[in-house]
Amino acid sequence: MKVVLFCGGLGTRLREHSETIPKPMVEIGCRPIIWHLMRYYAHFGHKDFILCLGYMGNYIKNYFLNYNECFSNNFTLSKGGKNIQLHNSDIEDWTITFVDTGLNSNIGQRLVAVKPYLEGEEVFLANYADGLSDLNLDDYLNNFQRRGKIASFLAVQPSQSFHVISLSENSLVQTIEPVGNSDLWINGGFFALKQEIFDYIQNGEELVLEPFQRLIRKEQLIAYRNPGFWACMDTLKEKMMFDEMHAKGNTPWSVWETSKSATGEILKPQLSDMQQKHLLGVKK
């Protein structure tokens, strides 16, 4: 399946970086977050990407035009650097289409702009370019195909440091708890869409607003809950969290690196106390 990635936004809430580079290019380790996301999809066999460009789109183009496999792969150098033998590869079998979808376009407009590049795709994938997850994509897609609906997205519990409250009619607080402990679920991206989605998008509309409301009325929109890892890089605090996790080798989104024990049990990285508090919405 083709994978559409929305990477043209301004990223204003990550201003420490977004004034010099587009948010999808903010790095985790030696690779930008968009690379981690694309590597995730490639692990499940989806290696045909369409990048919806906008703000600082040339930066993203230049990154891939000058991509150096040696930065994240083992290699042997000989003849004073004239010969480089890669022992494995990241993107050799990827296909990446770069499409300028407008500087100020919303997600719905960007999706419509790349419709010609999705011709013949009965089902395709789409995502924001700033969130990572340990979602089992095969299970997710099997559920989508089985349900027979037009659209699906990943439902996750929010990670922000907020508290959910309930109030009585006279504004007395009845309950208060960290948002991560509530039964609140939010849109985490990781869309699976059928071609019919374009019949529900009118000119200028945001994807998850009017089009999704039409799908809801037709009972054609489903969500897939994932209680596992999900986080987005929306603020400097979240950038620091990703950096800490990567420095400790604790990268649950790196499903391509998941190891197994001798018994075949999948060994998942464990979150630190700080990361657990962040994901559960508990302030330090």
- Residue-range domain boundaries for the chain: 2-73+89-159+185-280
Per-residue pLDDT at 236: 85
Per-residue pLDDT at 261: 33
User: Domain 2-73+89-159+185-280 adopts which CATH fold?
Assistant: Spore Coat Polysaccharide Biosynthesis Protein SpsA; Chain A (3.90.550)
d(CA 176, CA 181): 10
d(CA 186, CA 226): 11
Per-residue pLDDT at 84: 84
Per-residue pLDDT at 259: 42
How long a stretch of residues is the chain?
284
**Would you tell me how many other CB atoms lie within 10 Å of the CB of residue 55?**
20
Name the residue among 40, 34, 56, 224 with its Cα closest to residue 130: 34
Longest CA–CA span in the chain (Å) reads 80
d(CA 124, CA 166): 39
Per-residue pLDDT at 17: 58
Per-residue pLDDT at 77: 86
* Contacts with 60 (C-beta within 8 Å, 6 or more apart), sequence order: 7, 22, 24, 25, 34, 51, 53, 98
d(CA 107, CA 12): 16
Per-residue pLDDT at 262: 33
Kindly give the parts of the chain with pLDDT less than 50.
Answer: 259-284
Per-residue pLDDT at 192: 97
Query: Quick check: pTM over 0.85?
Result: no
Per-residue pLDDT at 281: 39
d(CA 22, CA 63): 11
Per-residue pLDDT at 167: 86
Name the residue among 19, 197, 40 with its Cα closest to residue 115: 197
